[in-house]
Structures are given as C-alpha cells and as structure tokens.
Chains A and B, each alone.
Chain A
Amino acid sequence: DQQVKQNSPSLSVQEGRISILNCDYTNSMFDYFLWYKKYPAEGPTFLISISSIKDKNEDGRFTVFLNKSAKHLSLHIVPSQPGDSAVYFCAASASYGYALNFGKGTSLLVTP
C-alpha cells in the first residue's frame, strides 16, 4: 500500500515560471519529509527536506511547504530553469532511524 503518493506523473512548465510538485501521505507517524531529484542514468540526489515541526523550508529557488493537517507537502521551484527538468521523488520517514518511503515520482519538464 503506497503511503506516499505523487498523483501527477508529469508536469510541464515554462522557463521562468513557478513549478509546484505535490505529495500526499497517509501515515500520520511520518515526521520527516524529503525531496530527491533524479536525472536519467543517474541516482537520485537529495534536494531539500522538512521536519514536521516546521511548515516551510527554503533553499535558494526551492521551497517545501508542509500541511500536516492535510497530510500534504509541496515543492515550489521559482523561477524554473531548463536544468530543473528531472524526475522528483517525495519521501517520508517516521522519525529518525526508520526507512524512507518513496512516492512514484513526478517528471518535470521545463521548456524554454
């Protein structure tokens, strides 16, 4: 049973605009959330994370928002660049020391 869901398999955005990638989770024990980025023929690389004690975390063009009551998080990329085109995986963990649960991924295409 998929505990982390990324319901949009793909997203296309114009360069310079905002990209919003969404993720929902079902397990209320999850309290740490991560986003990974994956280019073809490469392994996933860590992008940004957020703990459940926060509702927002920023790192440059990337911001993750967490809505615990809705069990929803989103990744905002502003402004989007062609180099951001990749598959983005949402992952969640039930506290430190527990395995990461990954979503199926969203393929982002940023067009010039």
Chain B
Amino acid sequence: EAQVTQNPRYLITVTGKKLTVTCSQNMNHEYMSWYRQDPGLGLRQIYYSMNVEVTDKGDVPEGYKVSRKEKRNFPLILESPSPNQTSLYFCASSPTMSYNEQFFGPGTRLTVL
C-alpha cells in the first residue's frame, strides 16, 4: 500500500530533551515536506526537501532540523524542544516538487511540557 508513515504518532516530552520524528514514504517520491498544524493557523510548512541531500527552509523553520540521506526518509529533529513547539506535525510527499498534490502522513501529536 502506497503510504507516508510517521513515528511516533503521539509524544509527550519535556523542554530541552532532543527528539526525532521519523517520516518514511514507499512511493519513490522525490519531494518531501514537514508541516505543523496549530489551532487558528492552519498548516504551515517547516522544511522541505526536493531530493536526497537537498533541503530548504519553509515558513517556520526555527527550532527544527531535517536531513535527507535516503530518498524514502525525512526525519524531523527538535534539538531542544520548547513548549511553543507543541503542535500536530504532518509529513508529506509528492513525486516531484512541481507536482502540487501532496500525500500526507497520519500526523504526530507532540506535547512539550
């Protein structure tokens, strides 16, 4: 089944404790992206990757890091999480950056205490 998977689905952590949210897609897509969804703000892009080893900042990159060492994986790293990073996070992928319809993962709900 073609899909985007994220782990963990739910995470409660404390301020300053480094964490990684994994994202994997099995569709051989070149383009991958991370979004966060907050009440009243919709979906905002954090980082995106056009292909392996090519990443760039989205609208709200502060406090996040990403890497794209393999085509299928695009982990989101929070080196020192803070309470304002409590949010619902979505990973998405599409065949290329020029293909606008993106396929989204199920989401990761992160709470930073």
- A32 contacts the other chain (Cβ, under 8 Å)? yes
Q: What range describes how many residues of A lie at the interface?
A: 20 to 34
Q: Which residue of B lies closest to A92 (CB)?
A: B100
Q: Which residue of A lies closest to B4 (CB)?
A: A43
Contact check, A46 vs B103: say whether CB atoms are below 8 A apart.
Answer: yes
Looking at chain A's contact residues, the main secondary structure is: loop
Contact check, A99 vs B58: say whether CB atoms are below 8 A apart.
Answer: yes
Q: Which residue of A lies closest to B38 (CB)?
A: A104
Docked Cα-Cα span, A32 to B98, in Å, equals 11
- A93 contacts the other chain (Cβ, under 8 Å)? yes
Convert B13-36 into 0s and 1s, putting 1 for each residue whose CB lies closer than 8 angstroms to a CB of A: 000000000000000000001010
Number of residues of chain B lying within 8 A (CB) of chain A: 25
Contact check, B100 vs A34: say whether CB atoms are below 8 A apart.
Answer: yes
Docked Cα-Cα span, A32 to B33, in Å, equals 18
Nearest-neighbour CB distance to chain B for A84, whole angstroms, equals: 19
- B 52-109 contacts with A by CB, 8 A: 58-59, 90, 92, 97-107
Q: Which residue of A lies closest to B44 (CB)?
A: A102
Q: Which residue of A lies closest to B42 (CB)?
A: A104
Taking beta carbons and an 8 Å cutoff, which residues of A are in contact with B? 2, 4, 6, 32, 34, 36, 41-46, 49, 89, 91, 93, 96-97, 99-100, 102-105
Q: 20 other contacts beyond A43-B92, A105-B42, with CB at 8 A cut-off?
A: A2-B42, A34-B101, A36-B104, A41-B106, A43-B90, A44-B90, A44-B104, A46-B103, A49-B101, A96-B97, A96-B98, A96-B99, A97-B97, A97-B98, A99-B33, A99-B48, A100-B45, A100-B100, A102-B43, A103-B42
